[in-house]
Structure 1
């Protein structure tokens, strides 16, 4: 039995990776900083104790921006942008390498802080969660303010929160007053605060749908709310057009999913230059082993084993292939994962240069609950090399 109308919060850590790095390098506060460089971007400590930082202008390669500080965003540098393009926009920006182990550590800290208030949390990734506040006593703004204070005390980082009647509005609202924002959004606020936004701000309207809506003269959420349903159905089909119409009005009945089993866990990397299977064999082998180890670590950390191991290869011409292999038992062992992934790799003709490689574990079950899948006798040892 709920205490009243739904109160759903979305908590989003502010420029998360960049903010974690600023804890380590506080002298960079207030400067444009881009995260996404390789190990060569590691700052150099000088004899006098000061640091020498890599600059974006010196970057050469094909990587992408992982994240950036708000000062870099003001110069037009955003996540997923090509690093070379970012260098044109902000050549003097500091470039730092990514440190995912550190980001995962702070992710665990902020989520643990929120769990001191409630377990009604839907984990949406390393830097964001939904929280169902419906049954918590008190005013929504006061609860959100206390949660934000707890997150800051646990991590030294700021977050932005929105409390709204549903997940869709909460997600939109957490972006409205960044950084360190606290937003209360109701259905009455939709015309004033949501309708002026670009349609891409609605979670679920991706780049392709945005382009197709633009071709129809629909650029804002308000224009989408006013669009003829028949027109939308002609271009998007009955189901998606119905969702578009409801989303534009701010309606969303999805529950906060407290527990969910992921379908798969994967790790992949895009190379800064195309790699040759033979000439770069040593480097590729090291990277491949590292990906398998990271998948194994993720499985152990989340308490799952995977029974289907797969690989993903993208060639220089962007052609992508995948291969999978089902094991007799689930595993979180990096050696077993590496063996199975290698067997998958043998089924791919590596005649072109490689652009991306990835490793995936699927058919996940909680560790200790997986069942054995018997194999025919001739397949008992499929990974011997």
Structure 2
């Protein structure tokens, strides 16, 4: 009989902010926010004191990438507009984003973990799943060993949840943050999981949460109490069945140690809303640059793609997408730009734009018949109205 599964989810604590505190240890204990564009880098003055940018001084459309726990206690969270955050904590310190540093520490912590638990599923720059089933050691001691290895390699803390599956591990890694260690079995679900809000389940988004609330379901326990057939009638056969299983902690997914990219995309949010006519040349340059960056990503990943798509978000926050499938896969920037331009002709451009994105999917390995890895920027303008 195989041993019971031990699946861990490891989440770095306020990762970007914690990396910045290694660089500026004097900011520990302060409300610090990471994000925005054109943010001044901290500098030491002649008298030995430090000058930092503050939220109240920021002007622009930037959003918060992350924040220290002291800033979160003031109501500030990731993806919040910086101008909105400034109203909550005007004197909070604002630091620029440094993705090179974050990627460096990401590589360090993952390498340290692999020395102990090689079956790792990479879920992004600051989180991973681990299959500890065949790793020797008592569960709590093993999880603590992993945490200690991360701290030794990076100087940073992480939180770990160890449970029978990925769904529960993801929930549990967040229960005792920061520097948490939570171990949970199926018998613990009624006491530890059911009292939590349904949004704690990864896969229940804002719309599903809103619908569940309208049906009187706010906690995971209330969701678990509902009949599976009723959930399927209310949410559809597949999603309703998943809701029923998830509320009871049922998840059979394996830890996937390697996966092929399904798509490559690039997008940007503008500092100010742009109009297709008045800002045509600016939009054209941005649009072309996004296509070039997508092509560069394809070259780096050594894949080509057939379906090119665009994403537009208007000033009223409504979003539209369009796509076009080519007869042959490509990584050529000019071909991608031309196809994306065709997609753009199929969307209304009367309203101002706040976001523009380009995406390519249906990826495959290049062949001699594909567009290959060569291409130029091209000189196509943003299509006129």
What TM-score results when the alignment is normalised by the length of structure 2?
0.86
- Secondary structure of the structure 2 residue equivalent to 1:168: helix
- Give the equivalent residue in structure 1 for 2:103: 104
- Give the equivalent residue in structure 1 for 2:126: 127
- Give the equivalent residue in structure 1 for 2:240: 241
- Secondary structure of the structure 2 residue equivalent to 1:40: coil
- Give the equivalent residue in structure 2 for 1:77: 76
Deviation digits for residues 67-115 of structure 1 (CA, Å, limit 9, x no counterpart) = 1111111111111223232222111111122222322222222222222
1:9–1:272 CA distance, 2 compared to 1 (3 A): same
Query: Cα offset for 1:62?
Result: 3.0
Task: Map 1:231-270; keep pairs closer than 5 Å.
Answer: 231-270=230-269
Distance 2:319 2:287 in 1: 19
Distance 2:327 2:93 in 1: 45
Superposed CA RMSD in Å reads: 2.9
Alignment of 1:62 onto 2:61:
yes
Contact 1:307 1:363 in 2 (8 A): yes
1:297–1:6 CA distance, 2 compared to 1 (3 A): farther
Contact 1:311 1:359 in 2 (8 A): yes
Which has the larger displacement, 322-331 or 35-44? Answer: 322-331
- Give the equivalent residue in structure 1 for 2:363: 364
- Give the equivalent residue in structure 2 for 1:177: 176
Deviation digits for residues 133-166 of structure 1 (CA, Å, limit 9, x no counterpart) = 1111111112211211221222221111111000
- Give the equivalent residue in structure 2 for 1:304: 302
- Give the equivalent residue in structure 2 for 1:16: 15
Query: Cα offset for 1:51?
Result: 3.0
Query: Cα offset for 1:30?
Result: 1.0
Contact 2:32 2:70 in 1 (8 A): yes
Deviation digits for residues 24-62 of structure 1 (CA, Å, limit 9, x no counterpart) = 222211111111211134334434454321211222333
Task: Map 1:218-367; keep pairs closer than 5 Å.
Answer: 218-277=217-276, 280=279, 284=283, 287-288=286-287, 291-292=290-291, 294-295=293-294, 298-299=297-298, 303-308=301-306, 309-317=308-316, 318-324=318-324, 326=326, 328=328, 330-331=330-331, 336-337=332-333, 340-341=336-337, 344-345=340-341, 348=344, 352-365=351-364
Contact 2:21 2:27 in 1 (8 A): yes
Deviation digits for residues 157-215 of structure 1 (CA, Å, limit 9, x no counterpart) = 11111110000110000001111111111111111111111010011111111111111
Alignment of 1:89 onto 2:85:
no
Query: Cα offset for 1:305?
Result: 2.0
1:341–1:19 CA distance, 2 compared to 1 (3 A): farther
1:252–1:321 CA distance, 2 compared to 1 (3 A): closer
1:384–1:291 CA distance, 2 compared to 1 (3 A): closer
Distance 1:382 1:94 in 2: 39
Contact 2:12 2:157 in 1 (8 A): yes
Distance 1:338 1:351 in 2: 26
Distance 1:223 1:48 in 2: 59
Distance 2:185 2:292 in 1: 45
What TM-score results when the alignment is normalised by the length of structure 1?
0.86
- Secondary structure of the structure 1 residue equivalent to 2:264: strand
